[in-house]
Amino acid sequence: MRVVGSQDYLQALLEAIRPGTREVLAFHDHRVGVIGTDPKLMLMPWDDHLVHRGDGVFESLKYVGRKLYQIDAHLRRMSTSCQAIHLEPPCPWEEVREAVIEVARAGNEPNGCIRILLGRGPGGFGIDPYESPVPSLYIVAYRLHMRPESAYEKGVTAIRTTVPAKQSWMATVKTTNYLPNVMMKREAVNRHADFPFCFDANGFLAESATENVALVDGEGRLVIPEFTNALAGTTLMRAVDLIKNDMPVTFKGVTEDEILNAREVMMLGTSFDAIGVVRYEDRPIHDARPGPVTRRLRELLTADLQRTGLVF
């Protein structure tokens, strides 16, 4: 291999194979201080503890029709995650918020997703967090792939993953330590299912790989698994706020039998709002069709985005 200087290295970098470039719309590295649009230059320092230790937190939010949805709810949760791992952003939170808006605008597309990453920062390859003098902040806008309407009409499938739910102190903080989530998703794909469900040591349902699960029980209540070993999703909590005056809502431990006996089971997440689970472990949920509560929640969330989304 050749040993080269800066310009030759940059040229080689631009010529290197880079999967996923068509998905990236715009990006920002706080150290650099500008917004880039060439995905081949979207890089993190290798010695950022975010990269080699998973020492950081993140949030994902979407925008539709140039309206950012729940930006403040996501930033509030990110702030809570930062407090849990003793991390501060390299700038005031209001500047983080403004940077998110600017990156979305620079992406120059009406629909997309935003990923915000806050890391311990570059400084070494050790494990001591004090190795990193300045925290890192990365923001990227990328394409939002909306599911076709037929997917909502057909519903999705789920399995019980062999990967256990995370320990409580890890599960309730949105860190970049997502290896269990990756293994859960891999298992679901290999078993030809859409979503994996993980359970805690007591046999209670926790969450999916990147989404929350909810169900409608025989009494017509919206049942949310307790957040003991799961992350409180922004989409889920907003859905609860929107429907709590129309039906009873309860947070409780949920067993596998309750999933199989439910009137409805649904997934709630940023990219798709709400979608019905019609089969679990190859067994039908109720009549194996998405239910009315799932459809209603999706309608409420879609309308809420149009009403409250931040226009940029």
Q: Encode the chain (312 residues) as per-residue pLDDT tens digits.
A: 999 999 999 999 999 999 999 999 999 999 999 999 999 999 999 999 999 999 999 999 999 999 999 999 999 999 999 999 999 999 999 999 999 999 999 999 999 999 999 999 999 999 999 999 999 999 999 999 999 999 999 999 999 999 999 999 999 999 999 999 999 999 999 999 999 999 999 999 999 999 999 999 999 999 999 999 999 999 999 999 999 999 999 999 999 999 999 999 999 999 999 999 999 999 999 999 999 999 999 999 999 999 999 999
Question: Among positive and negative, which fits the CA dihedral 212, 215, 220, 226?
Answer: negative
Cβ neighbours, 10 Å, residue 249: 16
* Architecture of the domain delimited by 18-142: 2-Layer Sandwich (3.30)
Give residue 126's pLDDT. 97
The pLDDT value recorded for residue 87 is 98
Q: Does domain 149-311 sit in CATH 3.40.50.300? A: no
Provide the pLDDT for residue 168: 94
The SS3 call for residue 139 is: strand
Q: Where are the domains of the chain?
A: 18-142, 149-311
- The whole model's pTM is what? 0.96
Q: What is the reported pLDDT for 188? A: 98
